[in-house]
Structures are given as structure tokens and as C-alpha cells.
């Protein structure tokens, strides 16, 4: 098995053509001096979200080895954070922040045969980060930013094994250091409050646990919704009112086309049994993705719209488990292929050019499962394709950056149905984030 180190890169790209729309008013010219650098200041906030872990594990000894690329797991988490931003230009800022988080995901693998068995669980709980961020302000009230820095994570590992009349146990809590990088959109909600949606990828160091032959190399994907309050921004409510007045009316009704790029994590719950033997595992994978999408919205008030959209996505997500001992080996690989989705969305416009929305709907995909094994000079391999349907849901933030042009950051959680291959059952799920660029057709768009 070959381990790949994921370098996350989220790129915006797309094109579009379109339909008709309604006319819109001309912008009101409000000099920047009328409201000053209203993003400058300290803030405190809290966030909730979902995280997915991909933990590359290697266990060796007694002439055999087990490699899992990787152990998967997913769960909810909460965080508190505080920071300071400095708006050094009307459309740019830099800042720093610190964060504490606590999560509840587990990744588990277990196996049992008559008279013997083993299991391994890893549980990341307390995490912390020291981060820098830099952003641009396409509109006075909306910030598009990149974020990165140092992160640390406490991981609780437990394991047990029994057989041959004996047993062994492991209970270890270890700190893993690493780096994190991500992107987000933050928008002002009024009276000092701001909301954000943010995605981060965190890669931690590889470490062999003390007094064991168990090596772990974890990475974690997180998507969070945050709410913060900013203290002492120059101008206060008057400044925010001037900012809102400077934004022109935007018509969101119409048809749009676009493209997106991003990253995601695959979690696959696998169960297999044969005779008196059984195995259960949460496997995980990660990779980049590309997508094209089309949709139509209808804005029926100044602050609310509904719409439909569909997309095709090409993910590069797969999991691999391999083992070897003596002159025998076995490997199982599961790879996700093209995915398609049809969704409805409903959105709220806190400002004319910023849309907060939720999307949900049907999704489908195909998985290719490949197995190979060898022993005593003999070798066999096989592959099977399986089509799965499921549902997908998630929030997003979209903002108008020019006539007809919009950019968005969107998170989705996707749960597929259960299927079987080679006598094993599996049920995959995805967590993905994508940054997109789209164009809406028509005059006055």
C-alpha cells in the first residue's frame, strides 16, 4: 500500500451562460471615509460543525503487518475562538486568532476468529490552533478569506487483543502536532455580529505510540458554522448602516451555470463475516474534487429566495486496507467515482449581495471495489462496480462580486445506502467542501 500525503488546494473556477432577470438600481456612492475600517477590532465567537478523520495506521510484529489507509471516523464538534483583524485597505484585511475545540468522533477496527480477537479505537477529543488569516472584501459587509497555521490534537487510543489463553490491552493518550489550512466566507449580520462558514484541512505528524508497534498518522477535515461579536469597530452601527446603504440592489432571480473545486473525506463502514470469523472497520479516505453545476433561483422578497440546482462531481476519494504475513498478502481498495445530485435550496439575504442558504436533495454515485491476494506464489484479483443512491444536505454562503458573477463556499454531508461486494457489506458517506464561481444570465443581473 502506498500512502499519499494530501496537499490541500481549493481553487475557484467556472463559466456560465443564462436567462432573463429583472433590472436593478444603481449603486449609491458612499465614500469609504464615511464608514472607516469597520472590520478592524477584536472579536469572540463560537462554532459548531462536523469533522471527519482519516488515520493512516500501521501495526507490525511477529513477521506480519497490517496497514490501513486509513481508519475513518466522523462526528460533531464545538469550538470557541477569539482574534483580532486589521483592515489596512478598504477591501483587504489581515488577522490572527486562537481556538479551542472538542470533538466526539471515533474510528474503530475489530476482527474476531474462534478463540481470538482484537480491536483498535482512536478518539480525537481536545484540539487547539493558532492561526493567521488574510481576506478580501468583495462587498463592504462580506469577507472572503484564507486561513492557516499551527494546530495540535489530543488523541485517545485504546486497543485490546486476546487469544491462546492470554490477552493484552492498550490505553494511551498522545499529543499530535501539525498544520492546518482552509478557506471561509464571513458576513456581517448587524450590530457587531457576524456569521461564517469555514472549512479546514489539518495534517498531523506521524507517531509511533510509546511501547508499541502501532504507528498513527492522522488528518482531520472540519466544516464549521460560526457566530462572533466584534468589539469597538470604528463607527459602530452607523458605520454598518452606511455600508449596507452602499450596496446596490441585486436581483437573484434567474438561471446560472458554474464550476467548483474542493476537497473531501470518505468514510466507509465495512462489515464482513465468514464461518466463525468476522471483521468490522470504519475506513476513511481523502482527496480533491471538481464539479460543474447548474441552477435556477426565484427571489420572492428582498430577503428570501428558493431554487433548484444539479451538479456532477468527480471525486478522487478512496480507501485501502492491506495485510501481509509470511509469504501471503491481501489488499482491499474502494474508490468513489462520478457523483450526481439534484437539490433544492432556500436562502436568506442579510445584505443585497450576500446569500446564506441551505441545500438538500438526492444524490447517486458508483463505487469500484477491488481485491487482490497472494500466497505461495499464487495470485488472484477481482473488481466490482456498485451504484448507490442516497441523500445530501449542507449550508453555503454565496456573494455577488460583479454583474452576474457570484462566488460561493459550500459544505455537504452525504449519506449513501448500504451495498455488498465479495460477501462484505459497506455503507459510505462523504463530507465535502467546494468553492465555486458562477454566472447568472440576463440583463440587470
What cell numbers appear for 276 in the block? 466463525
Kindly report the number of other CB atoms within 10 A of residue 410's CB atom. 26
- Residue 6: pLDDT above 70? no
Percent of all residues in the chain with a pLDDT value above 70, rounded to a whole number: 79
Alpha-carbon span 244 to 299, nearest angstrom: 19
Q: In the chain, pLDDT over 90 holds for what percent of residues?
A: 40
Residue 33 has pLDDT above 60, yes or no: no
The neighbour count for residue 316, using CB atoms within 10 Å, is 18
Q: Is the pLDDT of residue 50 over 80?
A: yes
Closest by Cα among 342, 351, 345, 352 to 252: 352
Q: What is the pLDDT of residues 317-327, one digit of tens each?
A: 887 776 665 56
Q: Which residues pair with 333 in a beta bridge?
A: 320, 370
What's the pLDDT at 352? 87
Residue 439 pLDDT: 95
Q: Got the DSSP string for 181-199?
A: EEEEEEEEEETTEEEEEEE
3-state secondary structure of 114: coil
pLDDT at 77: 94
**Alpha-carbon distance 416 to 430, whole Å?**
8
Cα 412 to chain centroid distance, Å, stands at 8
Location of C-alpha cell 490572527? 96
**241 by DSSP, 3-state: which?**
helix
User: d(Cα 107, Cα 159) in Å, to the nearest integer?
Assistant: 12
Q: Which three cell numbers mark 332?
A: 482491499
3-state SS assignment for residue 416: strand
The cell numbers describing 246, all together, are 452602499
Show the CA angle centred on residue 208, arms to residues 207 and 210, nearest 5°.
Answer: 120
Q: How does pLDDT run across 214-237, given as a tens digit for each residue? A: 888 899 999 999 999 999 755 444
- The confidence band for 399, taking pLDDT boundaries of 50, 70 and 90, is confident
What's the whole-number mean pLDDT along residues 355-368?
93
Is 0.85 surpassed by the pTM of this model? no
Out of 75-79, 117-121, 166-170, 373-377, the most confident range is 75-79
Residue 438 has pLDDT above 90, yes or no: yes
> Residue 275: is it exposed, middle or buried by C-beta count within 10 angstroms (0-12/13-18/19+)?
exposed
Helix and strand tally (H, E) in the chain? 1, 20
Q: Is the pLDDT of residue 150 over 60?
A: yes
Residue 403 confidence (pLDDT): 85
Three-class SS state of 303: coil
Q: Is 140 helix (H, G, I), strand (E, B) or coil?
A: coil
State the CB neighbour count (10 A cutoff) for residue 25. 11
C-alpha cell at 33: 471615509
Is the pLDDT at 22 greater than 60? The verdict is no
Please give the average per-residue pLDDT across 99-107, as a whole number.
90
d(CA 383, CA 400): 46
Distance CA 351, CA 341 (A): 29
Grid coordinates belonging to 148: 492557516
Q: Which span out of 131-135, 273-277, 314-318 was modeled with the highest average pLDDT?
A: 131-135
pLDDT value of residue 74: 85
Q: Is 378 exposed, middle or buried (0-12, 13-18, 19+ CB in 10 A)?
A: exposed
Task: Work out whether strand 166-190 and strand 328-351 pair parallel, antiparallel, or are unpaired.
Answer: unpaired
Is pLDDT above 70 for 37?
no
Closest listed residue to residue 398, CA positions, set 437, 342, 360: 437
Please write the tens of the pLDDT for every residue from 280-315: 777 888 888 999 999 999 999 989 999 999 999 998
Confidence of residue 82 (pLDDT cuts 50, 70, 90): very high
Amino acid at each position: 500500500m502506498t500512502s499519499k500525503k494530501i496537499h490541500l488546494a481549493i481553487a475557484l473556477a467556472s463559466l456560465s451562460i443564462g436567462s432573463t432577470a429583472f433590472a436593478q438600481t444603481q449603486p449609491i456612492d458612499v465614500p469609504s471615509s464615511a464608514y472607516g475600517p469597520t472590520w478592524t477590532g477584536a472579536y469572540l465567537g463560537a462554532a459548531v460543525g462536523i469533522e471527519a478523520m482519516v488515520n493512516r495506521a500501521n501495526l507490525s510484529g511477529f513477521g506480519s503487518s497490517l496497514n490501513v489507509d486509513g481508519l475513518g471516523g466522523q462526528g460533531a464538534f464545538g469550538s470557541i475562538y477569539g482574534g483580532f483583524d486589521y483592515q489596512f485597505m478598504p477591501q483587504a484585511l489581515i488577522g490572527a486568532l486562537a481556538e479551542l475545540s472538542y470533538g466526539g468522533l471515533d474510528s474503530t477496527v475489530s476482527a474476531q476468529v474462534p478463540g481470538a480477537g482484537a480491536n483498535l479505537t482512536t478518539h480525537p477529543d481536545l484540539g487547539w490552533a493558532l492561526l493567521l488569516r488574510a481576506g478580501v472584501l468583495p462587498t463592504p459587509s462580506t469577507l472572503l478569506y484564507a486561513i492557516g497555521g499551527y494546530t495540535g490534537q489530543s488523541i485517545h487510543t485504546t486497543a485490546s487483543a486476546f487469544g491462546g489463553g492470554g490477552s493484552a490491552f492498550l490505553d494511551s493518550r498522545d499529543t499530535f502536532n501539525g498544520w492546518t489550512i482552509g478557506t471561509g466566507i464571513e458576513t456581517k449580520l448587524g450590530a457587531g455580529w457576524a456569521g461564517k462558514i469555514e472549512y479546514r484541512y489539518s495534517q498531523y505528524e506521524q507517531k509511533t505510540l510509546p511501547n508499541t508497534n502501532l504507528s498513527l498518522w492522522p488528518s482531520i477535515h472540519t466544516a464549521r458554522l460560526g457566530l462572533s461579536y466584534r468589539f469597538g469597530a470604528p463607527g459602530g452601527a452607523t458605520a454598518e448602516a452606511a455600508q449596507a446603504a452602499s450596496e446596490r440592489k441585486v436581483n437573484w432571480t434567474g438561471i446560472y451555470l458554474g464550476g467548483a473545486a474542493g476537497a473531501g473525506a470518505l468514510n466507509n463502514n465495512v462489515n464482513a463475516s465468514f464461518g466463525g470469523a468476522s471483521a468490522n472497520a470504519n475506513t476513511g479516505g481523502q482527496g480533491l474534487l471538481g464539479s460543474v453545476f447548474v441552477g435556477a433561483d426565484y427571489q420572492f422578497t428582498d430577503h428570501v429566495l428558493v431554487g433548484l440546482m444539479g451538479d456532477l462531481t468527480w471525486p478522487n476519494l478512496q480507501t485501502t486496507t492491506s495485510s501481509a504475513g509470511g509469504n501471503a498478502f491481501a489488499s482491499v481498495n474502494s474508490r468513489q467515482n462520478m457523483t450526481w445530485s439534484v437539490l433544492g435550496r432556500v436562502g436568506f439575504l442579510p445584505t443585497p449581495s450576500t446569500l446564506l442558504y441551505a441545500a438538500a436533495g438526492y444524490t447517486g454515485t458508483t463505487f469500484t471495489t477491488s481485491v487482490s491476494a497472494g500466497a505461495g506464489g499464487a495470485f488472484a484479483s477481482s473488481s466490482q462496480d456498485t451504484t448507490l443512491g442516497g441523500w445530501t444536505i449542507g449550508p453555503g454562503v454565496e456573494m455577488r462580486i460583479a454583474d452576474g458573477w457570484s462566488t460561493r463556499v459550500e459544505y455537504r454531508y452525504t449519506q449513501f445506502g448500504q451495498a455488498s461486494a465479495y460477501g462484505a457489506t459497506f455503507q459510505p458517506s462523504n463530507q465535502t467542501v467546494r468553492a465555486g464561481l458562477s454566472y447568472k444570465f440576463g440583463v440587470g443581473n
